Amino acid sequence: MDIREIERFLKFNQIKPSHHRLKIYEYLVKNKNHPTADLIYRELVDEIPTLSKTTVYNTLNLFVEKGAAQLITIDESENRYDADMSIHGHFKCKHCGKVYDFPLNFAAIDMGGLQNFQVEENHIYLKGLCNDCQIQKEN
Amino acid sequence: MDIREIERFLKFNQIKPSHHRLKIYEYLVKNKNHPTADLIYRELVDEIPTLSKTTVYNTLNLFVEKGAAQLITIDESENRYDADMSIHGHFKCKHCGKVYDFPLNFAAIDMGGLQNFQVEENHIYLKGLCNDCQIQKEN
DNA sequence: TCATAAAAATGTAATCATTACAAATTAATA
DNA sequence: TATTAATTTGTAATGATTACATTTTTATGA
Ligand SMILES: [Mn+2]
Ligand SMILES: [Mn+2]
Ligand SMILES: [Zn+2]
Ligand SMILES: [Zn+2]
């Protein structure tokens, strides 16, 4: 996804593609690391010295509001963001802190107890030890 | 679950059953409302005038640490707690704010992308409109 | 029972992520 | 260019949670 596609994508989602918005969205797309607002700020401020943290927060809130990104609340006290709007699950390693994606067959989730409930969002969060960290502990 | 059972349960989980701890755990068991620390405090402070909010926080953290309750981070900026440690999902209504339980066939979740990952916790959160609120909107 | 130590609870201050808000800057429009 | 709207900025406020020192309660044992 190059900068032109990002511009089109933001416009498509009713978001005026200002320079900062383009850069923040580009960061989300290129680094699929589910970053916090603070991390995005720290990563971009060298390249964009005038960037303010408030703008990062404002922009991320706008993305979520317009459906261009999703908010991941996998852990208390840290909001993370993801430009991948497809249905997928997240796994956070308790040891290294990395957040992994995994495919999800949402239809398999049987919501027997929720007849007539209208589902608008789904958040599937797992926690534990990732493959790499398990190997480390064994040695 | 009467107070005697609660006492036994806390002891079983390596938690000394002080009066406050018993009352807070009893609140979780009797009101399956996934409350915040603040709500628990407000609900109990009349009955226990000496209760402090710090004690509620300390106690809930202890419960989670010892595996007697689980922390539900279904929404940013509010930690909710649940004494039900069985595997089940949560649905939060965006209109009325109520958090519903629903049964969950966890085995149905295919984690194809997570070979050799060791899962220790699972959090399944859905959001949308509950049955009651949909009916209201239709009228 | 009384002394002593350990555990639990309290109250206040600190922390920290996020938001509110007013001012400044930039972009769009005519 | 003049005018208006949108965006961005910097700082202050908010609010949930935690840190910490003090007080209270409970347990232990001479
Ligand atoms: Mn993701
Ligand atoms: Mn529950
Ligand atoms: Zn890991
Ligand atoms: Zn509802």
- Residues B132, B68 share a domain: no
Range B106-126 average pLDDT: 86
Could you tell me if A74 and A92 are in contact, meaning their C-beta atoms sit under 8 angstroms apart?
Answer: yes
Residue A57 token pair:
């927060």
Is B62 in a helix, a strand, or coil?
helix
Looking at the structure, tell me whether residues B17 and B33 fall in a common domain.
yes
CATH number at residue B65: 1.10.10.10
Residues B93 and B54 in one domain: no
User: Average pLDDT for residues B115-131, to the nearest whole number?
Assistant: 94
For residue B70, pLDDT over 90 is answered with yes
Residue of A126, A134, A137 best to disrupt the B interface, most CBs of B under 10 A = A126
B116 contacts A131? CB cut-off 8 A: yes
Same domain (yes/no): B133, B70: no
CA distance B106 to chain A (A): 8
Cβ atoms of A133 and A139 closer than 8 Å: no
Please report the pLDDT score of residue B115 as a whole number. 86
What is the span of the domain harbouring residue B116? 88-138
User: Average pLDDT over chain A, rounded to whole?
Assistant: 94
pTM to 2 decimals? 0.93
pLDDT band at B109 (very low <50, low <70, confident <90, very high): confident
- In whole angstroms, what is the distance from residue B74 CA to residue B65 CA? 19
| B52 and B117 fall within a common domain | no
Give me the long-range contacts of A22-25 (CB less than 8 A, separation at least 24): A23/A47, A23/A48, A24/A56, A24/A59, A24/A60, A24/A63, A25/A63, A25/A68, A25/A69, A25/A83
Q: A15 with A57, same domain?
A: yes
Percent of chain B with pLDDT over 90: 84
Copy the structure tokens of residue A130: 């990732």
Tell me how close the Cα of A139 comes to any Cα of chain B, in angstroms.
16
Same-domain pairing of B55 and B22: yes
The one-character DSSP state at A113 is T
Q: Which positions in chain A touch B122 (Cβ < 8 Å)?
A: 124-127
**Tally of domains in chain B:** 2
Instruction: Tell whether the model's pLDDT for residue B107 goes beyond 80.
Output: no
- Give the pLDDT band of residue B11 (cuts 50, 70, 90): very high
Instruction: Tell me the CATH number at B110.
Output: 3.30.1490.190
Q: How far apart are CA B108 and CA B9, in angstroms?
A: 31
- Dihedral angle sign, alpha carbons of residues A27, A30, A35, A39: negative
